[in-house]
Amino acid sequence: MSAKKVNVAIAGATGAVGNQMLECLEENDFPINNLKLLASEKSRGKRLEYKGETLKVEVLEEDSFKGVDIAIFSAGGGTSKKFAPCAAADGCIVVDNSSAWRMDPDVPLVVPEVNPHAIADYTKKNIIANPNCSTIQMVVALFPIYKKSGIKRIVVSTYQAVSGTGKKAIDELVEQTRSLMNFREPENLVYPHRIAFNCLPHIDDFLDNGYTKEEMKMLNETRKIFEDDSIGVTATTVRVPVIYGHSESVNIETKEFLSAEDVKKLMAEAPGVELVDDIANNVYPLAIDAAGGDLTQVGRIRQDESIENGINMWVVADNIRKGAATNAVQIARILAEEYI
Ligand code: 25A
Ligand code: L14
């Protein structure tokens, strides 16, 4: 299918995800007519490169979206809440990376390997939401299993990279590590505790039920993407001192029996998945290998012998690419090819 050339804006272009967005658009050879880079007052006048051209960053304002066909937002929830409706009112289709719109019943929540059909519903608000990074990689891996055998319940623990919190958190991990190596007291500016040489069972804010928002996103977003409120999901989300790449220990109970071999076959053929599972040679998914790529790596596939229909697996992806920028660019590409 041929894509029409479109006018694209990136809101939050100077952030960790925004920067990656530029790279993904370039790699995708995205059919761009005009590209507009937007960020806050702090970034006024900053310059970024796209396809060898230098583009100046403009300050995001309510009327920034006149004549823009697709705006990809990655500037935090508050900014999306405030500015996505302005963009939508000017006829621009918003692909939003924040959690602001994901659970709105009039906003589709899309992972192209799973529910591309939902994109058609963008017309309700002119907004499409990109799911949370931890949810995206999990559903990419689980969807083929869900289709084949059904899934009753998911128990997931995550090992999440600091880049999810943005540039300032990457700086904090590097700075704390440097301090400790130099026998200096590290400072905690971004997280409530030291992240260097540590694990924090705490991502996003705590809720009244004792879970974090990040943990509840994994339940609510999975149900919305699979269009199935009967699936049980219980999550523990943990921050680890890794810069790029989220890892997940995923345990599932399927409705019908699947052997580990069946699951390996499904993963070998699944769109967006790379089967990385050769324990005899110490081969399994690693954050350092998944980082920089667009595939969700799956390995350590084995039977859960404590229940009748259980499978364990280890799922790893680049949280800034497939978990954010790549997924948004895939959605934008479908918009440009099929809807604009
Ligand atoms: O808590 P919130 O508000 O919901 O925000 C959460 C964070 O989520 C990130 C995003 O990362 C945001 O800060 N994010 C969004 N979607 C995500 C996803 N799917 C996601 N993370 C993971 N997965 P970020 O901090 O890397 O990028 C922020 C971008 O948003 C722009 N921005 C912020 N507020 C804005 C706004 N743009 C318009 N209007 C607003 N009100 C922000 O632009 C950035 O592009 P900026 O102008 O504030 O530029 C930030 C510049 O500052 C530099 N910098 C940041 N920290 C440090 C630093 N320099 C030195 N030391 C630091 N510690 C950066 O280099 C950047 O150029
Ligand atoms: O997109 O890792 O809902 O701190 C918010 C928390 C992204 C990751 C989202 C983190 C997330 C982020």
Q: What pLDDT does residue 3 have?
A: 76
Helix (H, G, I), strand (E, B) or coil at 226: helix
Residues of the chain predicted below pLDDT 70 = 1
All structural domains of the chain with their residue ranges: 6-131+324-338, 134-319
Closest C-alpha among 59, 63, 65 to residue 44: 59
For residue 21 and ligand 1, the question of a CB distance below 6 A is answered with no
Q: Is 246 a catalytic residue?
A: yes
Q: What pLDDT does residue 4 have?
A: 84
Q: What pLDDT does residue 29 have?
A: 97
Q: What pLDDT does residue 1 have?
A: 65
Closest C-alpha among 92, 96, 112 to residue 104: 96
Q: What confidence tens digit (pLDDT) does each residue in 48-90 have?
A: 999 999 999 999 999 999 999 999 999 999 999 999 999 999 9
- Choice from 98, 103, 109, 214 to test ligand 2 binding pocket (greatest atom count within 8 A of CB): 214
Q: Which residues, at least 6 apart from 222, have a Cβ–Cβ distance to it below 8 Å? A: 135, 138, 139, 154, 231, 233
Question: 327: CA distance to ligand 1 center in Å?
Answer: 19
134-319, CATH topology level: Dihydrodipicolinate Reductase; domain 2 (3.30.360)
- Please name the residue whose Cα sits nearest to atom 59 of ligand 1: 168
Q: Is 133 a catalytic residue?
A: yes
Alpha-carbon span 162 to 10, nearest angstrom: 22
Alpha-carbon span 328 to 289, nearest angstrom: 22
Q: What pLDDT does residue 191 have?
A: 98
Class of domain 6-131+324-338: alpha beta
Q: What pLDDT does residue 195 have?
A: 98
For residue 205 and ligand 1, the question of a CB distance below 6 A is answered with no
- Ligand 1 atom nearest the C-alpha of 98 is 16
Supply angle C-alpha 242, 245, 248, rounded to 5. 100
Handedness of CA 214, 219, 222, 225 (dihedral sign): negative
Q: What pLDDT does residue 2 have?
A: 73
For residue 216 and ligand 2, the question of a CB distance below 6 A is answered with no
Tell me the pTM: 0.93
